[in-house]
Amino acid sequence: MEHVVLHVDLDQFIVAVELLRRPELRGRPVLVGGTGDPTRRGVVAGASYEARTFGVHSGTPLRTAVARCPEAVFLPLDHDAYLAASAEFMAVLREITGMLEVAGWDEAFLLVGTEDAERTARFVQGAVRERTGLACSVGIGDNRVRAKLASGLAKPAGVFRLDGTNWTAVMAGRPPEALWGIGGRTAARLATFGVHTVRDLAEADAATLAGEFGPRTGPRLLGLAHGQDPTPMRVKPPRVRSHGREVTFQQDLSDPGALRSEVCRLARQVSAELAEEGLLARRVVVKVRRAPFATHTHGVPLVPSTWDAAAIEGAALAAFNAFEPGRPVRLVGVRAEVDG
């Protein structure tokens, strides 16, 4: 018997949910985002593997996506369908083990005791597919970091094990950004002093890393290069810190009255969600994005904390009034930061 961490990750989740309803689209490039109209503003929320070969991924603007992949099928977002599928997915995993850490609506870590980790991973895949119709990849690791990376190496619909026995063989020659938690900017900074691979990072001087990235981040980067994960499994649901809503306008909006109406509408939605979940807002933040993509926020505290719609709406309007008037607005959002 051994204890391992499994990272279970649904493959092309949003697209996969859509393909359950539209099986005739399997094998075709499918992109999900916005209203499904690529001539309108919005970004790709989900891309099929066939679409990704054209350089289209989550976050790609829809207008860019249609230019790169004009033969793609574009579908509108259906949040309720994805939330329902996610809930069923998590229910399956919780029936397998109570030691579960939700990492997103399409991924989770499981801590399991098993005599055959690969067989257990295949069992998880079968249970998920039987109940949800969705395929998942499973990474097996001796900690969360290695399990997370392993699931990426298992895609699509595979099982891969990454632990201390094969870490160097699998990861040493890969670029630093292959590590979970290292992005392009950090990798570029690492390259300035000769770190181009995971092996380079693992062999880097600890003092140099601490001097370049700080006394906390430097050692963390070095630990990642060795596949270390000092963070324990978080088996409780993460604490909700905020509730927010936002809207992107198809044409930039300059009319102050129309913008205030949108702020009020969003604030009422947020307050309704807070009341439904029994959460109290202590601060309301309004986000405004202007062309091309400059984003700014203003916040107003609420004393006492409340979910009262009138109070949240009033705070949102006060925050909005702090912005310079008259300039065209691309996006506006309202977020309530909650007590906790």
CA distance 207 to 3: 34
pLDDT digits (tens, 9 = 90+) for 160-201: 999 999 999 999 999 999 999 999 999 999 999 899 999 999
Is the pLDDT assigned to residue 126 strictly greater than 80? Answer: yes
How distant is the alpha carbon of residue 24 from its chain centre?
28
In eight-state DSSP terms, residue 290 is E
| Band of residue 237 on the pLDDT scale cut at 50, 70, 90 | low
Angle between helices 79-96 and 13-21 (to 10 degrees): 110
238 preceded by a cis bond (ω within 30 of 0): no
- Name the pTM for this structure: 0.74
Contact 312, 291 (CB under 8 A): no
CA distance 218 to 36: 43
The per-residue pLDDT for 242 is 87
Q: What are the chain's domains?
A: 2-10+95-167 (3.30.70.270), 14-79 (3.40.1170.60), 174-225 (1.10.150.20), 242-338 (3.30.1490.100)
The per-residue pLDDT for 193 is 86
Is the pLDDT assigned to residue 315 strictly greater than 70? Answer: yes
Burial class (CB in 10 A: 0-12, 13-18, 19+), 96: middle
Averaged pLDDT score across all residues of the chain: 93
| Band of residue 340 on the pLDDT scale cut at 50, 70, 90 | low
Contact 284, 319 (CB under 8 A): yes
In eight-state DSSP terms, residue 137 is E
CA distance 92 to 337: 31
Residue 8 has, within 13 A of its CA and on its CB side, a CA count of 32
Q: Is 1 helix (H, G, I), strand (E, B) or coil?
A: coil
Q: Which residues of 251-263 are buried (b: 16+ CB within 10 A; e: fewer)?
A: eebeeeeebeebb
For range 236-264, the mean pLDDT: 87
Residues tagged active-site = 107
In eight-state DSSP terms, residue 61 is B
Is the pLDDT assigned to residue 320 strictly greater than 90? Answer: yes
Is the pLDDT assigned to residue 236 strictly greater than 90? Answer: no
What does the angle CA 297 – CA 36 – CA 79 come to, to the nearest 5 degrees?
65
